[in-house]
Amino acid sequence: MGGSVYSLNIYSLVSLVLSSSANQYLFGWTRIESAISLDTSIIENMYNSKNVSIGFLLCVNLFAGFEAEALPYDYSATIECLAEPEKPQYYGGIIQNPELNNGLEGWSAFGDAIIDHRESLGNKYVVAYTRNQPHDTVSQKIYLQKDNHYVLSAWIRVSEGNAPVTAVVKTSEGFRHAGVTVAESNCWSMLKGGLTADKSGPAELYFQSKNTSVEIWIDNISLQPFTEKQWSSHQYQSIEKARKRKVLVKAVDEEGNPLPNATISITQKNSAFPIGSAINKYIVNNNAYQNWFSSRFTVATFENELKWASTEYSQGKEDYSVPDAMLKFAKDHNIRVRGHNIFWDDPKYIPNWVSALSPDQLKSAVEKRIQSVVSRYKNQLIAWDVVNENLHFSFFESKLGQNFSAWVFTEVNKIEPTQTLFLNEYNTIEESRDSEANPTKYLQKIQQIKNYPGGASLPIEIGIGLESHFPNTPPNIPYMRSAIDTLASTGYPVWITEIDVAEQTNQAGYFEQVLREAHSHPRVQGIVLWTAWSPDGKCYRICLVDNNFNNLPGGDVVDKLLREWGIKNISGTTDQNGFLRTSLFHGDYIVEINHPSKKNHNLSKHLKVIPNDDSKKTSQFLKFSM
């Protein structure tokens, strides 16, 4: 699209609005509120042409915004290893000679590596070889602007086998890890990541690998800066497209004449997008906790109460009374529950009696655990975290073999064949320096499960559970978004399952940042906070309320965002043509209308705002007779 702003007459605008393809062209642009005044008589004639007789018309349409930012964010990522690399995103951004078509212009050796410009089948790239240290490689000098968000992508290959390759940005303050991929020798892999500049100044981008025996091949590099305002516009546009629909309300009298100055009130009853928090046993007998939680959240995860160490502390003595009571609370308040977890691979959290079992005894105990907990809660939960943190830990694999996770998924699926089953892991999106659980490693684990005998044919989706425990440093928001891009390219469900931020200066502000980023990503299907209340004030990392359930700073952030994301009432009056325009989050609403000429005559009706489906009409209608 370049930097052009297109001028559309009202007829072409209406055509675009009614076309599903219009959303693709307009996605990512910032809305200009008063950019155009819709001729409502044209819209009215379009409706009248369909011979719709109505007293009160409510039309839900997906209207795209209008362009203000010339460069939308590219949410795409490629996880396939390709024979030839794709073109650089954003035409390379600030990278000089991104496609290596001009030899080594802009590129230089880093450390003691030797670099070479090569060409294969018309494709040109740079190679770093004779590497004795991980940082012996190729680099380009760049200049960073303070507070800009930089999105990085590159295509990487190695000379033999496979090896992790990390993108690093060297600044005057130190070294920033911007992303990683596992590169192959017979094809090109995409690395996607990013960073936020702490200060303005010169820097250097390079690509390193701990495997010094391989050559590193690099091509089609991009580093695109976005200002904070531009980044926020991406979030806004993504929410408008993925989470909301525009609503056009028309009020008419019994003869079909427009009713100006009619008062329309719209009240959300339920939000379609699941936002919740962890809860614990204290909620069972605490009415204040119950009221506070149920007035805000639509989904819950039990903090510890479903874990093996809680339900079978001593071998053979199972006790589900606490999770049963917690589940009853959830059901009574229409709160959906994620099952957490069936197995936890961290040896610290294995029940003591389990750790002492022989492999054969352990296998029997594992089988009993699956049958017990999964069968008990069959059809009562919305998901299961099947294996927890098994990219970082491997207790069960060390005892029962490397196919343990894949085997467990197939066994659980036999009991819950329609349930979404999740891996659940930390540091995949919140910590770019953690090589154990980066997006590529996560996807390799999913592939291992799918490759298990019989796994490929299982009618299950492997859910991608991202704990999102952000450390005590400012969050790397561009890396977070890019990592989700990579994971979401599988098409599997992505949930933020345990999000919080460690204690630090501006903890609440950073909490808001990561929540906004998670909610705005179009492929995230739900968010769970790891903020269970405790009477001793010892929350895991961030408390939302005090013992009287008055908000702490984290609670203020959550309430602010919940109001912004839909838990609020909307009211307005129709214009001279009987129209009221608004935008609603997906969910259930009560719509009420009254008019000065119709005293004591209020009408109401239920409205369900649903995501736009390109296979269906983009409009919904409600009739009222006034």
* Catalytic residue IDs: 498
How are strands ordered across the β-sheet holding 114-120? 114-120, 123-129, 216-226, 149-158, 189-196
Please give the full DSSP string across 275-322, using - where no structure is assigned. Answer: EEEEE-GGGTT-HHHHHHHHTT-SEEEESSTTSHHHH-SBTTB---HH
Cis previous bond, 427, omega within 30: no
**Cα 390 versus chain centre, distance:** 21
Describe the crossing of helices 439-451 and 477-488 by its angle, rounded to 10 degrees: 20
Alpha-carbon distance of 166 to 434, in angstroms, equals 11
Residue 335's closest CA among 374, 378, 302? 302
Residue 420's closest CA among 523, 517, 525? 525
Q: Which two tokens stand for residue 333?
A: 């308040």
| CB neighbour list of residue 265: distance below 8 Å, 6 or more residues apart | 569, 570, 571, 591, 592, 593
Alpha-carbon distance of 379 to 567, in angstroms, equals 28
| CB neighbour list of residue 504: distance below 8 Å, 6 or more residues apart | 472, 473, 510
**Cα 455 versus chain centre, distance:** 26
Q: How many residues does the chain have?
A: 626
Region at 382 (left for phi over 0; alpha for psi -120 to 50; beta for the rest): alpha
Alpha-carbon distance of 200 to 438, in angstroms, equals 28
Q: In a 10 Å sphere around its CB, with 0-12 CB exposed, 13-18 middle and 19+ buried, how is residue 194 labelled?
A: buried
Alpha-carbon distance of 101 to 88, in angstroms, equals 12
